[in-house]
């Protein structure tokens, strides 16, 4: 029975491949030439033994890089500006530089992430950027990791920083129902299978249930399209003889902006005909026409908390397993309020 990968050592690989430890080290670090035949033999043995090089342990035993990574599947949207600012501000005070890289989840298992034990002292991982197998490998290698906008997998106790999603989503949908008598509410999901998306949908459903409003799956849009296609998805919904609706809860402010644009192009008035609310309170939210009612998520504080937790790990101090930051409903005009 083959031992688990994290108990296999470089000496095991060298012995089975019939080469020296130094030769395996040269192959792993690619710092000296070796023949193609020997390289192929070493890789074949590594595959057979399921050997995962503990680069972090070797590298950190000699010297630090002075850098921390932020790894995300995208940094395209305005949401990431405050997150990065908060993270970088904390790290700079302790003399660390911040490296940022994107890594689409579909590359997991095919291409190594651009940031990790090979070039940073620790990494902040956004949402579902890394799969559980990679997280487990890094955790077993004692590589410092903090998750943001995602809880830790059950068997891997990695510290995480999140915002309160479900109760805030409940409150903002409840506001549409109680304050504005909107009872046919569309939920526009953000793309992908992010934990935030799921929690916000749970809050939406809970608010409907509390007011005895049946859940209608026809009023849930999205989940598979890119945010760039959000407007097209809303236009398609409007053009396909949709069920009665009088409000939209968009899973984030980028989606809300696309929804408002599509509704106005279709000749509908926001909020008279259709109320629209969002989530995050991005910097542009108050400048939309009408200004967007939304949930204020403390995105910059998430970055700060993640940086503080990662520094504790780097310094060998105990950390909180989960940090949940509070959110707040911000009332503007897109829901029908006059303030």
> For 267-321, what is each residue's pLDDT tens digit?
999 999 999 999 999 999 999 999 999 999 999 999 999 999 999 999 999 999 9
Domain boundaries, the chain: 5-53, 58-162+300-326, 166-297
- The CA radius of gyration of the chain, in Å to the nearest whole number, is 24
Residue pair 120/69 in contact by the 8 Å Cβ criterion = yes
Grade residue 107 by pLDDT with cuts at 50, 70 and 90.
Answer: confident
- Provide the percentage of residues in the chain whose pLDDT is more than 90: 67
> For 195-213, what is each residue's pLDDT tens digit?
999 999 999 999 999 999 9
**Residues near 172 by beta carbon (within 8 Å), at least 6 away in sequence:** 249, 277, 279, 293, 294, 295, 329
Residues 48 and 98: their CA atoms lie apart, in Å, by 36
Lookup: tokens for 133: 């197998």
Give phi and psi for 106, each to the nearest 5: -70, -15
| Fold agreement (58-162+300-326, 166-297) | yes
Edge-to-edge strand list for the sheet holding 67-72: 97-102, 67-72, 123-126, 145-148, 160-163, 322-325
The pLDDT, as a whole number, for residue 149 is: 96
pLDDT exceeds 70 at position 3: no
pLDDT exceeds 80 at position 32: no
Grade residue 1 by pLDDT with cuts at 50, 70 and 90.
Answer: very low
Residue pair 280/197 in contact by the 8 Å Cβ criterion = no
Q: How many residues does the structure list for the chain?
A: 339
> For 141-165, what is each residue's pLDDT tens digit?
999 999 999 999 888 999 999 999 9
Residues 295 and 330: their CA atoms lie apart, in Å, by 6
pLDDT exceeds 90 at position 223: no
Residues 269 and 138: their CA atoms lie apart, in Å, by 51
CATH number of 5-53, picked from 3.40.50.2300, 3.20.20.140, 1.10.260.40, 1.10.1200.10 = 1.10.260.40
The pLDDT, as a whole number, for residue 54 is: 60
Q: What is the CATH number of domain 166-297?
A: 3.40.50.2300
Could you tell me if residue 206 is left (phi over 0), alpha (psi between -120 and 50 degrees) or otherwise beta? alpha
**Residues near 318 by beta carbon (within 8 Å), at least 6 away in sequence:** 312
Q: What is the CATH number of domain 58-162+300-326?
A: 3.40.50.2300
Could you tell me if residue 117 is left (phi over 0), alpha (psi between -120 and 50 degrees) or otherwise beta? alpha
Q: What is the 3-state secondary structure (H, E, C) of 246-277?
A: CEEEECCHHHHHHHHHHHHHCCCCCCCCCEEE
Grade residue 56 by pLDDT with cuts at 50, 70 and 90.
Answer: very low
Residue pair 250/233 in contact by the 8 Å Cβ criterion = no
Q: Label the pairing between strands 97-102 and 67-72.
A: parallel
Residue 167, CA atoms < 13 Å, CB-side half-sphere: 7
């Amino acid at each position: 029975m083959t031992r688990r990968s994290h108990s296999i050592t470089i000496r095991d690989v060298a012995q089975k491949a019939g080469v020296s430890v130094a030769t395996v080290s040269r192959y792993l670090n690619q710092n000296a030439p070796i023949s193609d035949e020997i390289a192929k033999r070493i890789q074949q043995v590594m595959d057979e033994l399921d050997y995962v090089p503990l680069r972090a342990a070797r590298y950190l035993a000699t010297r630090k890089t002075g850098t921390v990574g932020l790894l995300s599947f995208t940094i395209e949207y305005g949401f990431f500006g405050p997150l990065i600012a908060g993270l970088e501000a904390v790290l700079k005070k302790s003399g660390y530089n911040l490296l940022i890289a994107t890594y689409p989840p579909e590359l997991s298992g095919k291409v190594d992430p651009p940031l990790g034990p090979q070039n940073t002292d620790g990494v902040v991982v956004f949402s579902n950027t890394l799969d559980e197998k990679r997280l487990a490998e890094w955790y077993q290698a004692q590589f410092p990791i903090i998750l943001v906008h995602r809880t830790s997998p059950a068997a891997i106790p990695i510290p995480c920083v999140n915002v309160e999603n479900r109760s805030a989503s409940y409150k903002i949908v409840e506001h549409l129902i109680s304050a504005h008598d909107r009872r046919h509410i569309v939920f526009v999901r953000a793309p992908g299978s992010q934990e935030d998306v799921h929690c916000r949908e749970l809050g939406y459903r809970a608010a409907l249930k509390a007011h005895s409003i049946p859940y209608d799956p026809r009023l849930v849009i999205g989940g598979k399209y890119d945010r760039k296609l959000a407007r097209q998805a809303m236009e398609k919904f409007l053009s396909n003889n949709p069920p009665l609706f009088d409000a939209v809860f968009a899973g984030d402010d980028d989606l809300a902006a696309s929804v408002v644009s599509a509704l106005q192009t279709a000749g509908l008035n926001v909020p008279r005909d259709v109320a629209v609310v969002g989530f995050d309170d991005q910097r542009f939210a108050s400048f939309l026409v009408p200004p967007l009612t939304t949930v204020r998520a403390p995105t910059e504080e998430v970055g700060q908390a993640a940086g503080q937790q990662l520094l504790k790990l780097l310094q060998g101090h105990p950390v909180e397993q989960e940090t949940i930051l509070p959110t707040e409903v911000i009332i503007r005009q897109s829901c029908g309020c006059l303030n």
